[in-house]
Structure 1
Amino acid sequence: WVQTSLIQSPPNGTVSSSRADFVTEVGPSRPSFQWRLNDGPWVQPDATPHQSSGQQGVLVPLKGLSDGPQTLLVRALDYQGRADSEPLEFRWTVDTLPPVTHLRATPYPGQSPSDAAFQWSCEDVEGCNFRYRLDGGEWVDTSHSAVSLKGLSPGPHTISVTAVDTAGNEDPSPATLSWEVDTATPVTTIAQGPYKYTPERSAHFEFITSREGCSLRYSLNGGDYVAGAHSLGLYDLLDGQHKLRVFATDGFGRAEPSPAVYTWVVDTQPPETVVHQWFFS
């Protein structure tokens, strides 16, 4: 009866190398051995034993392994060629392909322009760990798939994220997103309005805000502010001077401190012609 023994075992788990080595122990009771990879034939190497850590063994390099699961069986042989009835079995997975990283911005619950939140994921069957950095700084290792950034300074920012799979393969092209922190309040411009003096009892306005996503509120002639759109139509205006005030509020709740103002006069009365008679002597 012969028993198989290894000095160095092949890898386990998931590895990024397409090569795997193992060293079998040989000696008087087990002078030779055989190995079998996946569904291949049993192979009996013709190798000269060498000393390894005080033990006599034979190194077997397995090269050019394809991606996917690997199964290796190793059994010792005695001098009569009888094989170990219970071969040693080793299983591992070769993964040489780097993962692909996906990155997206998510709404931040704090609703502050100097805060930002991001989520990321990877295309890999066994999942990934991640590394991220902000504005070219140091890489931060994390097992989480999201990050929240607070108190960012005004100006441009860039976040980069790269995935690292369980085999140690790293995405060579990190995913990146760039954005700009703008802490200024919005500004409204009245792009179109009626003539300063007009006989028309209706008026049409167009408004432009300094950033997208703003809501508008307007007040006519000192009345209450009401919500409005980026265009406004007013009808049945009375004769006299009118004043429209409008201000914007951005998506973070920051209101324009000073509304834009437009003043005009409606005059629907036709002019009167006065004839003066002059007498000459």
Structure 2
Amino acid sequence: MRFKIKRKGSAENNNNINMRKFIIYLLTFSLGLIIGLLFSKCPTTEEQKIDITLKEKTLRKEEKFHKESHTLQENVPQTYPEKEKEIEEKIYIKKETYEIPTTKVYYEKIACPDLPISAELLDKPDQYSNKKEAIFKIKLKINTKCSLEGFPIPCTFTAERVKVEFQEDGEKEFKVSYGEPPCMKDLISYNFIVDTTPPETKIIPVGFDKVVTTYHSVIFEFATNEPVKSILCKIDDGFWIDCSSGRIFPTNIEEGWHKLFVFSTDLAGNKEDPPKEYAFLIDALPPTTLLLSAPPSITNSRSAEFVFTSDDEEAKFECKINDKEWEKCSSPLILKDLQEGINKIKIRSFDKYGRYEDEPVIYSWRVVSGEIKVIPNPTTKNYEEVLKRQKRYKKE
């Protein structure tokens, strides 16, 4: 007969052993979890290097920002090179961000003293000057009070005289300032133009070139190479008249050659010298024929001589004898084998423009046989007038 002997407390021991194992496992798991969490929060060696690199670059950029800035600024978002962009992407993949701190930089403004000082320009050149030098007279005005032994006395400041010479023409600027940058203040600023060159005027005939063949009036226009104060003009020996409008329309001009004179004065007072000239011819009328010599009204000569001229030296002539046709002729004209009885001659002139005079010169005389009293040849009384007309058509 076998008997089983049960030891007291054996079941309780087993339970205690199992409980201890469970607690050990639980502590081990908890410790591993805590260690894992701690290691996940701490940056790796590579991440520490990235963090240090970004901080160093940030500090260098902030130092450069402090050196170059002169006004109140806020840092703008930083731009990184390509390598920095890759690092930044890696950080964001790990859901870790690095923030660059935003800073404000304040710079102290330089306080410029506001002195009670001003200036007055007493003498200065004209706005347009034709001199190679300029003289300025400046008077400083300072709001000060003077006293002597407690009693006020007048305070006066003498004016300064400044002379400046110029090597070339052009726009100039005169300034009076006090102080040093950045606190310099302008008291006087005066702009003027130095112009020592006289203007040039161009004469422009309107509708003709040298010769006017239609009217006893002309039109001229004037152009200058710079703004001018005035333009004066005259024809021949007439009076100078104002032509500043840039256009002149003289009328009732006599036949013949004439001269137009014109000069201008610019804004600086430079006068054009000598004046510009333009010669032109008024030839609006056809030529006129004048008979200077002819046979007597009654003659027994079968020949005759005619001398004639025109107020236009360049004119040509045509003659018609009795019932013949018009033919070209010239002075003196000698006719022979004339018939007895009344003979007639017509003479007309025409110019280079093909214009004929309105009425030709007509002369009649009788050829008879036998002896007759001597009759003087007719002469033209206005011969001198013809010479005057011819002189007007001569270009000097």
What TM-score range do you get, normalising by the shorter chain?
A: 0.5 to 0.7
What CA distance in whole angstroms lies between the structure 2 residues aligned with 1:110 and 1:210? 15
What CA distance in whole angstroms lies between the structure 1 residues aligned with 2:223 and 2:123? 34
Matched, 1:103 2:103: no
Within the candidate set 131, 152, 157, 1:17 is matched to 131
Offset from partner CA, 1:209-242 (integer Å, 9 cap, x none): 9879x9xxxxxxxxxxxxxxxxxxxxxxxxxxxx
Letter paired with 2:129: V
How far off is 1:26 after superposition? Answer: 3.3
Partner residue in 1 for 2:168:
66
What's the C-alpha RMSD, in Å, of the aligned pairs? 4.8
Matched, 1:152 2:253: yes
User: Which structure has the larger Rg?
Assistant: 2
Structure 1 unmatched runs, 5+: 31-53, 189-208, 215-244, 261-281
Partner residue in 2 for 1:131:
232
Partner residue in 2 for 1:86:
186
What CA distance in whole angstroms lies between the structure 1 residues aligned with 2:123 and 2:356? 64
Within the candidate set 162, 165, 177, 2:266 is matched to 165
Q: Structure 1 residues 94, 8: closer, same or farther in 2, change over 3 A?
A: same
What CA distance in whole angstroms lies between the structure 2 residues aligned with 1:129 and 1:175? 15
Alignment TM-score, normalising by the size of structure 1: 0.52
Within the candidate set 99, 120, 140, 1:26 is matched to 140
Q: Structure 1 residues 29, 121: closer, same or farther in 2, change over 3 A?
A: same
What CA distance in whole angstroms lies between the structure 2 residues aligned with 1:146 and 1:169? 21
What CA distance in whole angstroms lies between the structure 1 residues aligned with 2:241 and 2:165? 34
Alpha carbons 1:12, 1:90 under 8 Å: kept: no
Offset from partner CA, 1:10-55 (integer Å, 9 cap, x none): 335322122222111136659xxxxxxxxxxxxxxxxxxxxxxx97
The count of aligned residue pairs is: 199
Identity of aligned residues (%): 17
Offset from partner CA, 1:91-137 (integer Å, 9 cap, x none): 11111111112113223899423x22222212x24356311122233
What CA distance in whole angstroms lies between the structure 2 residues aligned with 1:131 and 1:258? 44
Letter paired with 1:173: P
Offset from partner CA, 1:135-164 (integer Å, 9 cap, x none): 233322332111011112344422100121
Alpha carbons 1:186, 1:250 under 8 Å: kept: no
Moved over 6 A (4+): 209-212, 249-254
Q: Structure 1 residues 4, 247: closer, same or farther in 2, change over 3 A?
A: same
Structure 2 unmatched runs, 5+: 1-113, 145-155, 290-309, 316-346, 363-396
Q: Structure 1 residues 8, 65: closer, same or farther in 2, change over 3 A?
A: farther
The equivalences for 1:177-216 within 5 A come to 177-182=278-283, 184-186=285-287
Which structure's residues are more often strand, by fraction?
A: 1
Which structure's residues are more often helix, by fraction?
A: 2
Partner residue in 1 for 2:17:
none
Alignment TM-score, normalising by the size of structure 2: 0.39
Partner residue in 2 for 1:112:
215
Alpha carbons 2:253, 2:282 under 8 Å: kept: yes
Alpha carbons 2:226, 2:266 under 8 Å: kept: no
Corresponding residue SS for 1:121:
strand
Higher mean alpha-carbon deviation, 128-137 vs 160-169, is at 128-137
Q: Structure 1 residues 156, 55: closer, same or farther in 2, change over 3 A?
A: farther
Letter paired with 1:172: D
What CA distance in whole angstroms lies between the structure 1 residues aligned with 2:160 and 2:272? 37
Greater relative contact order (CA < 8 Å, ≥ 6 in sequence): 1
Letter paired with 1:87: L
